[in-house]
Structure formats: C-alpha cells, structure tokens
Structure 1
Amino acid sequence: MAVTDTLGRLHAAFADAGVTGRLHALDIDSGAQVDFGADQPVCTASVHKLCLLVTLHRQAAEGRLDLTEQIECPPDGRTPGPTGLAAMLDAARMSLRDLAHLMMTVSDNAAADLLLDRVGLDTVNRTTARLGLSRTHAAHTFGELQATIKEDAGPHGARALTDPHVLTRLRALDPDRSNRSTPRDMTRLLGAVWRDEACVPEHGEAIRRLLGLQVWPHRLASGFPFDDVHVAGKTGTLPTVRNEVGVVEYPDGGRYAVAVFTRTANPAVTLPAADAVIGTAARIAVDALRVP
C-alpha cells in the first residue's frame, strides 16, 4: 500500500471519528514504520504506567527490590479511581507484582501510586532516559495529576469539565505541564520490551504477560477481532483524551508496535467512535506494514 494512501486513510478515519490523531506503527523485527505525527508531544495519561512497569522490573532485575515484597494498602489517602484498590473500601496487603497486575490490567491508579512510592518518580524518568526515550517525561504521580484537574476545574468540580473554556486551562491536557511522550517513543519502548532489550528475558516476559491481560477490548484490540491475533496494550484516558499503545502479534510471527493518541473537542465521557478509531487506525497502519 502506498504511503500516501495509508496516510490518507488515517486522516479520514480520525476525521470521521471527530478526533485529532497521532500515530506511530513499527514492525518490531524489520524496522518498517508508519508515521502520522509520530514526533508530536502528547499527554500519556495512564499509558505512562507502562514506563513505571518497565522501571519496576529493571529495579527487580538489578536486585534493588523484590517483586514479592508486601505493601500495606490502607484505605485512607488512596489515589482515587474507578477500578481496583482505588475503588475499594477496606485495607489490603499486596505484593509489588500484584499491585503491578492491577495497575496494568484495570489501570488502577491507587496501585500505580503505591508502586511510585516504592520506586520514585525520578527513577522512572532515569529509566526512560537510559532507554533513549528523550521525549518522555513523568511530571506527576497519578494522584497529583488528578489533583491538577480538580484544581483547574474550579469550584464547580467535574461538571465544569463539559465547558470548553475550562478544558483549555487544564494542565493535565498540556504536554508541557503533564506526563508526556510521543508515539515514536512509545513504540520504541514496546519494541525494546518485545526484543528483551528493556529488561532481561525473565522480566521482559513478565511485562508482556501483564500487557496481554488488560481487560479493555474497545480501543486497540477492536481493530483485530481474530482469535489467532494477539493484542497486548495499555490505555490512557483524560477529559477529551483517549490513547492506547500496544503490540499486535500475528500467527505468522509478525509483530507490530502501535501507539495511537487522540484528542476530541467533544467533552462527553462516552464516545464509542472515538474509542473505536484507535483500533481502526492501528489496523490501517499494521495492514500497510504487512503488505510485501
């Protein structure tokens, strides 16, 4: 498929869904790629949990922590969220690796911040720098990120997030003031994980396993509804932002890292077309990479 045809199809798909899209797709083995704004800075939202997961496993591989270490999870002071520990009411005690499971499979914010308390935000940034992700930076914990949204929304709280004027002042939606990356940085990270360059093989396999257990099928995976195609990924969501990065593996051995980041002017929480276009765009890009 000609490059111009692929880029035209991507442009049309994003426009039809009412979003602005940025995408990078990479054949992990050949290096072939599709670039649709791949170097534009984007807000990562919960996609940044992948950077934390890689950091956690690199620290474990270096003997700096034990993944079976138990962490107390009291209900008071937990980072809020709709899933996992963030939504639970009672005290719990969990291992680091089980917290990582909740962080990746259901995007548990409380679990993520407990892990950040253990490894440190600076350590995450050192890890991404050492992996060559020069455009990737974590500015906040996930609790701090939510706090900026609450503060910037003002006294009317969540109701104000339907106001376009309020949305323009949210620091969380400004890559210069929030957790950020680029689509190309994210596929570079995924490629390193799948080639066992980000971690030793034992830990690389653990990372890939968790990405494959994510429960959300409505974005990246929706573009590949086949029993013999495996999709492993991590979503990210903020007001007007829907993202996912992941790897698509075909039974013939083809494996493709894809990063799709979208923004929409519509502040509605439920926008099925904006979710589905992530899978549509990923499929267009992967199909282009699979053409001989």
Structure 2
Amino acid sequence: MRLLALFIALALPASVLAQGKSEPVRIDTGSDLLWKKLEARVAETADRIDGVMGVAILDLTDGRILLHNADRVFPTASSIKIAILLELYRQDQEAHSGAKEKSQLDDNYTFDPKDLVEDSRIMAGLTPGVTRVTNRDLAQFMVAVSDNAAANILIDRVGKDNVNAMLHGLGLSKTMLRRKMIDIAAARRGDENVATPQEMARLLEAIYKGKALSKQATAEFIKQLSTKKGSYIPRYLPESVQVANKPGELEAVRTDSGIVFCSETAICDKRHDRLRPQ
C-alpha cells in the first residue's frame, strides 16, 4: 500500500516578507467559494487514491485551515531535513550571540569517505582528506540534491536530540528525527523519521512568522530552502514562483514540504506519496 500525505499552508506574498514588515497584512486570498472548491478537490483526490492521504492547508493571512488525516503520523522521508536545517540556523544564531559549543554555518568540514552513504551525489565526488566545505555548503547539498551524507554529517554536528528538542519547543510533539539517512538497521527497528501533516504546516508557519529564528536568519533560511530542485510542489507552477521546500522519497512513500511564494499569496506544501504495489 502506498501512502500519500500532502501538507500545505498558505502564507503572505514574498514581496511582503522582503519588505520586512513584522505584522501580517490582510490579503484577499480568494472567496469562500474557491476555498470550498479546494476542500471538495482534496476530498475527491483522497477518495480516488489507492492508499492514505493526509493534508493540512493553512492560510496564514486569515487562519483558515483545511485538514484531511492531518493528525495522522506519516514517514517524512527527506522532508525531515527542514528540521535539521532549522536547527543548524538556530545554533548558528546562538553562536553569534555568544553561546559556546554551537555549530555555525561557516564551520569547516574535511571530506572523509567513511561518511558516505547511498544517495550522496555531491559528497561522493569530493577528494578524501583534501576537499574542505562549510556547514553552509553541506546544508546546500542537503537541500539542493538531498545529499544524504551531508545530512548525516549535519545531524552529527547539531545533534539529533537538539533537533527534537527544538521541535518540541515549538509544540511539535509528533514530529521526530529518530535516525540518520539510510540507517537500514534503525528503519527495521521502526525508528522512522515522522511527522503529521498539521505539525509540518505549523513548523513552516513558525519559520515563516519568525518564531524560530531572527528576521535576518529567517530570510537566509528561506532563501536557502528556495534553491531550485526536483520536487512535487512546483511541478505545475510558473518558473518565476519562489518555492521554499524539501521533498522526500522512500519505498512507496513520497513527501514534499515548503512555502510557495506568489505575487499575492505564499503556499507552504508538504507531500508524502505511497501507492499500493501492483
């Protein structure tokens, strides 16, 4: 059986964020009729899918939310890397405020081949003991091509427990980083990285509204997460639309999470997809 989870949140336009306004500005995101059509389309899609679909669509301009299996726990696949990235930025922010023993974006890492795991497309091409990159570079590899070795190194550097403590501090009790990427033994034990659609939407909301990072760090975080990548959310969107997202994929699972900024509205989306095998 394939599992599909679609997490979406609507936010402010990119232009408002760029202007640095601290308070949301009310923007007409569409009529109640359009919202009802959206609800009907989600319900229709859920009925048609041979599997399970979870959806959370949050409009951050007026608080409306569309939920379908939104409190059900799903595997996150690589969408959990949003939380890893957030903890890196949070620690970098704390380090610049004087905190000790925190990972920083500009900390260096020298490539060690023992850190390689499956699906490490960039890291596999580095020269052992010679190539030096920063945590910011590792984060870029993780975001742009979902490089798993880069993600695992960052997990070691920021700490899995710190990622989970950060999530818990944001009120997200069901979103958990339980294992590194490609840890087959942990996966067999059932130690899967998980979240609910609603909690992923709330995580994205917290990031967007500056509840997790400073104004400057939030802007930098969103810029990095907006790196163009192969993913599901922007598939039918114009090239000009900014999408800050992180997709993921496991066997029979597809996920995507992010914020989509358009001229009048920003949309935050997380998608998981798992279909029944033929």
Which TM-score tier does this pair reach, normalised by the shorter chain? Answer: 0.7 to 0.9
- 1:32 positional shift: 1.4
- Mapped to 2, the partners of 1:232 and 1:25 lie a distance apart of 16
- Mapped to 2, the partners of 1:115 and 1:82 lie a distance apart of 13
Greater fraction helix: 1
**Range that drifts further, 13-22 or 243-252:** 13-22
- 2:147 is the counterpart of 1:108: yes
Question: % of aligned pairs identical?
Answer: 28
Amino acid aligned to 1:61: Q
Structure 2 equivalent of residue 74 of structure 1: 112
TM-score if structure 2 supplies the norm length? 0.78
Instruction: Pick from 127, 138, 160 the counterpart of residue 99 of structure 1.
Output: 138
Could you report, residue by residue, the CA deviation over 1:99-148 in whole angstroms, capped at 9, with x for unpaired residues? 0011111111000111111111101000101111111111111142x444
- Mapped to 2, the partners of 1:251 and 1:2 lie a distance apart of 18
- 2:272 is the counterpart of 1:256: no
- 1:16 positional shift: 4.7
- 1:262 positional shift: 2.4
Q: 1:228 to 1:143 in 2, by over 3 A?
A: closer
Amino acid aligned to 2:219: E
Structure 2 equivalent of residue 185 of structure 1: 199
- 2:235 is the counterpart of 1:235: no
TM-score if structure 1 supplies the norm length? 0.75
- Mapped to 1, the partners of 2:185 and 2:216 lie a distance apart of 36
- 1:203 positional shift: 1.3
**Range that drifts further, 74-83 or 11-20:** 11-20
SS in 1 for 2:199: helix
Could you report, residue by residue, the CA deviation over 1:38-95 in whole angstroms, capped at 9, with x for unpaired residues? 111011111110001000111111112331110122112422215221x436323210
Structure 2 equivalent of residue 83 of structure 1: 121
Q: 1:13 to 1:83 in 2, by over 3 A?
A: farther
Structure 2 equivalent of residue 247 of structure 1: 259
SS in 2 for 1:81: coil
Structure 2 equivalent of residue 39 of structure 1: 71
- 1:245 positional shift: 0.6
After TM superposition, what 4+ stretches of structure 1 lie above 4 angstroms from structure 2?
2-5, 14-19
- Mapped to 1, the partners of 2:152 and 2:204 lie a distance apart of 22
Summarize the alignment of residues 125-204 of structure 1 with structure 2, pairs less than 5 Å apart.
125-144=164-183, 146-148=184-186, 152=188, 171=190, 177-204=191-218
Relative contact order (alpha carbons < 8 A, sep ≥ 6): 1 or 2 greater? Answer: 2
Size of the aligned set, in residue pairs, is 238
Q: 1:24 to 1:132 in 2, by over 3 A?
A: same
Amino acid aligned to 2:275: T
- 1:5 positional shift: 4.6
Gaps of 5+ in 2: 1-32, 96-101
Superposed CA RMSD in Å reads: 2.2
- Mapped to 1, the partners of 2:120 and 2:262 lie a distance apart of 33
CA contact (8 A) 2:103 2:157 kept: no
Gaps of 5+ in 1: 153-169, 172-176, 268-292
- Mapped to 1, the partners of 2:125 and 2:239 lie a distance apart of 33
